[in-house]
Chain A
């Protein structure tokens, strides 16, 4: 296991950073979408 982690360290870093980025993007996207809804309600 340790050997695997040592040999593929960069891929593990990539995987973790991609998971963080996907979460961050989803959060930003959701806030944007909810905001659009609120703006629509405000106009009504």
Chain B
């Protein structure tokens, strides 16, 4: 990644943090200043879904072309997606503590992210349980595709099917129109873009690390 992009990432996330804490927001009944968590919590969830999608796409590519680079990309994306899922859970729990009174309430949103974490946790267990690299790549690719099928269900469908305390229609209302104060919406979109950029930088680093690991293990075996 080019140096100027890294500088852009640094400046943009710094602006996001300033926007998150200092920029005034309108009074939202029942939320108040706690609504500011949306600038961090939603981008974390968005990046996690994006990462799992990238993991699934690369898994499909691996099964099609049988080139190890796709498995490396799939694994790296899943690992970063897992990290961002944890961050989304932590930011959500912090918000829940101040709004609902406890960190964990088994709300449908919390339950669905918990199951999603278990599903992707099993992906890493599966990978670590198989010695043969080809078999590992093949089986984990199949698993990653199946795991991603559950993502839209657990992130978008299931929490809306069951009654939940989680705020809904905060960004877009049921008619598909933007339901947010323009200033808040700008900071929110800027945050989404900034964290997405940072994710791609992290992914780039992770893929390069995995490639180097592979190269050195091949050298060691020869």
Contact = CB atoms under 8 A, between A and B. Distances in A.
Contact of B1 (A10, A31, A32): A32
Contacts of A18: 14, 17
B17 A28 contact: no
A42 B6 contact: no
Contacts, number: 39
B202 A17 contact: no
Interface residues of B, number: 19
A28 B208 contact: no
Given A14-B17, A14-B21, A17-B17, A39 B6 contact: no
Contacts of B21: 10-11, 13-14, 17
B215 A35 contact: no
A21 B208 contact: no
A13 B94 CA distance: 14
B206 to A, nearest CB: 10
23 contacts: A10-B21, A13-B21, A14-B18, A17-B17, A17-B20, A18-B14, A18-B17, A21-B13, A21-B14, A25-B9, A25-B13, A28-B201, A28-B202, A28-B205, A29-B6, A31-B205, A32-B1, A35-B208, A35-B209, A38-B212, A39-B212, A42-B212, A42-B215
Given A14-B17, A21-B13, A39-B212, 15 more contacts: A11-B21, A13-B21, A17-B17, A17-B21, A21-B17, A25-B9, A25-B13, A28-B202, A28-B205, A32-B6, A32-B201, A35-B208, A35-B212, A38-B212, A42-B215
